[in-house]
Structure 1
Amino acid sequence: MTDRTYRELSDSDYTKFRRSLLTKKGSPRQVEFLEAAKSSVDFVAYLDREIGTVGQSEVDLSEVPMTENEFGNPPSDTETRLYELWQSIGCRIASRTTFWANVTRRHILEGRIDASYLATSPSVPSGAARIEMALRSSGATREKAIDDCLRTVLRRLGGIPEARGKRTVYVDCPFGRAWWRAWLVQEVAQGDVDIARQLRAVTAINLRGSGIPI
């Protein structure tokens, strides 16, 4: 199987889509996007109206639904399980925001996660609550609240390369980050259980600046 057979979002469509959303803080376009993110069905339909896909082969999904916390910060056993599903994709594909955005989209489509999970923030009880707070905000803080929430959704969907380049997939996107952490552990530990455990502790703190070759 070659890299090109894996299904991902159209790069040109997805780039245009992100840029249109990031053009103006608090715009009707941003509000429309967050309104869609309140419902998994509406969110997937919104993405599918705006963005095409390329490629044919789909990777397997998480077999069971994930909680909001498990998706946002997968424990090591969940990361290992996900990596085992996707280890054949290779580093080239794992560096693509378009690939991970499609993987995340499919998890939402198949009910493994809720679209609102993408807006999760440590300071708010849930992603759904954060979306509502942003949409109901007013005054001088409204535009920033909407823009910040939208950017979180885009980062967790597949990353925002305009802001962080390719490293966004292993810093911002939970599925991409889980794959890269598990890959790094496997590459360095080479089957040594003790080393693997220590590495998981280190990579769980922060993968940024680790020198991953992408």
Structure 2
Amino acid sequence: MMNEVMPLNKKTSKTAIKIQQAATKLFAEKGYDGTIMDELAELIAVNKASIYYHFQSKENLYDFCLHDLFATVADAVIAQVESQTGVEDKLWAFVQTFAKQTQTHSQMPSILMREIASGGIHMPIAARQQMQRLLEALRTILLEGEKQGIFAKVDPLTTHFMIIGSLCFFITSKPMRDAIGSEQPLDPTLDEATNEIYRLINNAVKIH
């Protein structure tokens, strides 16, 4: 896997953007191994050579798509967290913004869950770094709360898994849940699930 991702500002042509958007969708639906460049070319009616002209390889295309997708989510979460002052508000902003972003960019949780299931064998370094940014943002919130005597000392990685994992699983499992017949809706909405996840996390870390 390449360690560097092509600069985003070099991918501004309409064809490159079209390729990237379609490829991201296919990677989310079929994973890295299941995405075939011939199928991608046919899907968007471009010559396969055009894909390699803009992205050089399937590996580099995957790197580029994931970096852009994961950075979009991480940027939004971190911006909202930094706009808050209190640690509980920051924790809420982290949970809520990640939930909203992964609903809007639903390919992100799909790809992340696929990579987790496979042991991350194709996960680009640049995408891993975006997840690390999210972890660091959460770690900062928890440490700040601990210093202020608001939060107890907790493990940031475990807390990160509880938030990110719960929301990603909630979003990606929706088609499976929808397939279960029921006379009355049993599932919470995303807002309800987000509120519940925040309540459980905040109660777990807050000093009462």
TM range (shorter): under 0.3
Larger radius of gyration: 2
Structure with the higher helix share, 1 or 2: 2
Given the two structures, how large is their TM-score scaled by the length of structure 1? Answer: 0.26
